[in-house]
Structure 1
Amino acid sequence: MKPTLLILAAGMASRYGSMKQIDGFGPNGETIIDYSIYDAIKAGFGKVVFIIKEEFADNFRAIFDEKLKGKIDVDYVYQNFDLKQFGIEEEIYREKPWGTAHAMLSGRDIVKEPFCIINADDFYGYDAFKKMADFLTTDVTDSQFSIVGYKIGKTLSDFGAVSRGVCDVDDTGNITAINERTKVYGKDGAVVYEEDDKEYPLSFDNPVSMNFWGFTPAVFKITEQEFVKFALSHKDKPKAEFFIPLIADILIKNSSADFRSIPTDNTWFGVTYKEDKPVVQASIDELVKNGEYPENLWK
């Protein structure tokens, strides 16, 4: 059974200023998602599922349906604010979506095979997709999941702070803890994160999750249970977010699952701020020039 690729594309892109999920970055207007799907097909994935807001559906279908026809199965699921689907009758005010782990739950009714989940606006590279596909095909179990790890120093933006799931990894390559740091940046040649108005240092090589996770559908049950508890306990915090690293940390700490850190030599890059766009365009142009991607992906 071929694994499935879930793409997190429901974010509001508040810092970027527009829908970066469908912004053009390649020589012929290719989105970053195009490159992820191209690599996933090459690596052996059999299906792609877009997690989007329902109001994005027409835009996404116009961009992706025709070009992917006959190349990979495509489906769409919608992230929304309806809590009744989780058995929560109480009205809870929100200023933003509930976060990546809540978004992942949007695929729980249609994803029945091993899957990985990625961000729409991150460029991961073929090596990462190939290693993840191999893991999902041969090694994944209901108690053995994975992430692709990137060096934190190679994941920063020159234009502002970023959020990162900072990983502690043991000698066997398994993660022992994941800490979500929501304000990470470079300073004076070093990497720091800010919390409660204080700065703390991080190693340049510290592995981080860039939301490239490998799971079986077994993860949905525990995620739904934890989301209900999270929503009710954060009902007075309209900006609180339910991140995938929180689920991983829970599974690790209660010994329900191990998470293998899959190393990759790929360079990660992404778009958090509008100013990141020319940097990403230049990086993709260089990959095309070196022959790693065709100038027109889908011809």
Structure 2
Amino acid sequence: MENNNHPVLVIMAAGMGSRYGGLKQMDPMDERGHLIIDYSIYDAVQAGFREIIFVIKEENKQIFQERIGDRISSRVKVSYAFQRLNDLPAGYQVPEGRVKPWGTGHAVLSCFFAVHGSPFAVINADDYYGRDAFRKMYDYLAHNGDDTKYRYAMVGYQLKNTVTENGYVSRGICEVNDREELVGIHERTRIEKHPTGIEYTEDDGKTWTPLADDTVVSMNMWGFNYSIMNELLARFPAFLDRALKENPLKGEYFLPSVVADLLAEDKAAVKVMTTPDKWYGVTYKEDKPVVTAALKKMTEDGIYPPELLDGGEYC
């Protein structure tokens, strides 16, 4: 089933960046001052996206407008959605001492009205995904509406292309069937690259379990029809009931967890589109030189124009 509305790009940028330190989304990644977001927006526009929604903290709106929004608003439609800590269903309150945002599911839910019924892709502001991912995602969203099931998508990466040399990462480990559909996704919150290979632990490093280099993982590049919004809204109170009891200061409403529930209930099918591209990100400050060197080489190789969003090739 074709989609009548043009796909929208949602960029999640309200995270605190605690492991990196500071507002890492605003950290320049090349000598011209470009951010990782600039590369993602360039790739997204080349793929066909013409509308972008930034999910941010309300207090960061001015810096986002000055550094990004105003600069690209003549080329694409730009809007902002605020992920507010106190934006909760009636009858719920923010626990005393809570400062951490409510997670990726809540971030997407903050776009409930801004997306205006369109299909949309979701990415992190501080991750580099590669142009192949945006092309595949736009094409899927433009041509696949819901039918007897919700028709969603994700771009999967090989685990070996998503780890850092500078510490641990969290990844959604994906189980994929022979129809290239997601069967299940399991959050591993501490994955590290060791001399013997890539491994994860669930007991603070007492024991480690190996993972194959080509394990398909989610980097939070999802594609949804608008139906996900009603599911996120309906399931949020049940999450809060658990989180406020078990982990009131840090419990997060994870987007992949909601997708996993929909798969288990056979309400959704998620197409997994794999890419050979390498992911780059700045989980830690020590990651920045690796990212800047990679982006510089891609520019030298002609993958990106030197001026990116300011160049004539942008649209």
TM over 0.5: yes
Q: Give yes or no for contact 1:27–1:296 (8 Å, CA) kept in 2.
A: no
SS at match of 1:35: helix
Aligned: 1:151 with 2:154? no
**Aligned residue pairs, count:** 298
Q: Give yes or no for contact 1:140–1:215 (8 Å, CA) kept in 2.
A: no
Distance 2:70 2:8 in 1: 19
Distance 1:50 1:91 in 2: 23
Cα distance, 1:206–1:88 mapped onto 2, change above 3 Å: farther
- Which letter does structure 1 place at the counterpart of 2:203? D
Deviations 1:7-61 (A, max 9, x none): 0100111111111111100231100001111111111012000000001000000
SS at match of 1:234: helix
Q: Give yes or no for contact 2:85–2:94 (8 Å, CA) kept in 1.
A: no
Alignment of 1:283-294 (within 5 A): 283-294=294-305
**Among candidates 193, 202, 220, match of residue 211 of structure 2:** 202
Q: Which moved more, 1:47-56 or 1:194-203?
A: 194-203
Distance 1:122 1:31 in 2: 10
Distance 1:39 1:213 in 2: 16
Q: Give yes or no for contact 1:164–1:209 (8 Å, CA) kept in 2.
A: yes
Runs of 5+ unmatched residues, structure 1 = none
Cα distance, 1:267–1:87 mapped onto 2, change above 3 Å: same
Deviations 1:234-254 (A, max 9, x none): 103121211111011001000
State the match for 1:268 in structure 2.
279
Aligned: 1:115 with 2:120? yes
Alignment of 1:10-49 (within 5 A): 10-49=14-53
Distance 1:269 1:180 in 2: 19
Kindly report the root-mean-square deviation, in angstroms, between the aligned alpha carbons of the 2 structures.
1.3
Aligned: 1:130 with 2:135? yes
Q: Give yes or no for contact 1:41–1:71 (8 Å, CA) kept in 2.
A: no
Q: Give yes or no for contact 1:27–1:285 (8 Å, CA) kept in 2.
A: no
Q: Give yes or no for contact 1:123–1:269 (8 Å, CA) kept in 2.
A: yes
**Among candidates 74, 90, 101, match of residue 87 of structure 1:** 90
Distance 1:61 1:95 in 2: 24
Q: What is the CA distance between 1:70 and its match in structure 2? A: 2.1
- Which letter does structure 1 place at the counterpart of 2:287? D
Q: What is the CA distance between 1:140 and its match in structure 2? A: 3.9
Deviations 1:203-256 (A, max 9, x none): 111101100000011101111222211111110312121111101100100001
Deviations 1:92-145 (A, max 9, x none): 342411111111111011112000000000001111101100000012426110
- Which letter does structure 1 place at the counterpart of 2:120? F
State the match for 1:256 in structure 2.
267
- Which letter does structure 2 place at the counterpart of 1:247? V
Aligned: 1:228 with 2:232? no
Q: What is the CA distance between 1:2 and its match in structure 2? A: 1.9
Q: TM-score, normalised by structure 2?
A: 0.92
Q: What is the CA distance between 1:195 and its match in structure 2? A: 0.3
State the match for 1:168 in structure 2.
175
Q: Which moved more, 1:195-204 or 1:56-65?
A: 195-204
Distance 1:103 1:143 in 2: 20
Deviations 1:48-86 (A, max 9, x none): 0000000100000001233212211000010011144x2
State the match for 1:6 in structure 2.
10
Distance 1:234 1:18 in 2: 26
State the match for 2:100 in structure 1.
96
Q: Give yes or no for contact 2:154–2:221 (8 Å, CA) kept in 1.
A: yes
Aligned: 1:69 with 2:54? no
